[in-house]
Structure 1
Amino acid sequence: MNNTISIPTFRLPALVARVGGKLPQWPHTLALVAGLNAAVKMKLLPVESLSVLEGRSFLVEVRDTGGKAQFTYRAGLFRPLFSAVPTPDLSFRASLSAFMQLLARQEDPDTLFFKRELCVEGDTELGLFVKNMLDAVEWPQLPKAFKLSR
């Protein structure tokens, strides 16, 4: 029997995105950049391949929260972009539940993309590189706190 939590597909009320979009976005960016840099430090991301990302700009937008994070990879670190890039090299847009399902490996990016729940725009070659790199990551097991007890 599978004891892990199943993340349902949900959409937050539109009010959340309206309010969230008016709030400062830098906390989202700092949190995401810190997580990505921690993944590099923990050797979860292939350091030798990250040079492909050098100087490229990225946007991650959580549609139903109004949250946006813009960042770049430069000199061996993911770094926040505090000024909006009009056209990032690569952008990912999805609902909170879709991103959570991706992180939990409950859904794969291709499935969400074809179900129109994940939007990827920008440099196609870069998008495929990032997708393949993330697919190859061996995520550590979630702590027991994230598992259902039965």
Structure 2
Amino acid sequence: MSGNHFKLPTIPHFTLPAFIARIGGRLPQWPHACVLTAILNGALRTKLLSRDDLQPLAGKTFLIDVLDTGGKAAFTYRDECFCPLFSLPETPDLAFRADLSAFLQLAVRQEDPDTLFFNRQLSIEGDTELGLIVKNMLDALEWPKFRDMPTIC
């Protein structure tokens, strides 16, 4: 049908019940890192991310901590690709911590990291300069225009 376009949903702020984080925290965490690094490496292959821009990340450790799910993904960037870490670093170079809703809002660009940070919905810990580099890289990404994609049905 002509004229129909895919519209990203508005993601409300929510926090999952505490028992989900208790269960999720007991599960192996490395699968999260494998999925996340596969996505990041896909962004490299499709040139959504530039290897040249990623050089300041080389050898650094990162942690994504989804507080209300208990899920954590630790990874590094080396040899021009993202690699999962199969154990969580005691002190990562950079850690992002937030509830699932905040990460989803970031992913669909409903909210920017600054707004979430100043509203205390996103915590950024570790190397401040590295955090600014990552934030600026995310801000500069040219995401595909989902709103311009036709719907399937």
- Quote the RMSD (CA, aligned, Å): 1.8
Aligned partners of 2:8 and 2:108 also within 8 Å: no
Aligned-partner Cα distance in 1 for 2:103–2:32: 14
1:6 aligns with 2:6: no
Quick one: which of 52, 65, 81 aligns to 2:69?
65
1:98 Cα offset (Å): 0.2
Partner of 1:92: 96
Quick one: which of 104, 108, 114 aligns to 2:112?
108
Aligned-partner Cα distance in 2 for 1:101–1:83: 27
TM-score, normalization by structure 1: 0.92
1:26 aligns with 2:25: no
Partner of 2:51: 47
Aligned-partner Cα distance in 1 for 2:79–2:31: 22
Where in structure 2 are there 5+ consecutive unaligned residues? Answer: 1-5
Where in structure 1 are there 5+ consecutive unaligned residues? Answer: none
Aligned partners of 2:43 and 2:49 also within 8 Å: yes
- Greater RCO between the two (CA within 8 Å, min separation 6)? 2
Aligned-residue identity in percent? 61
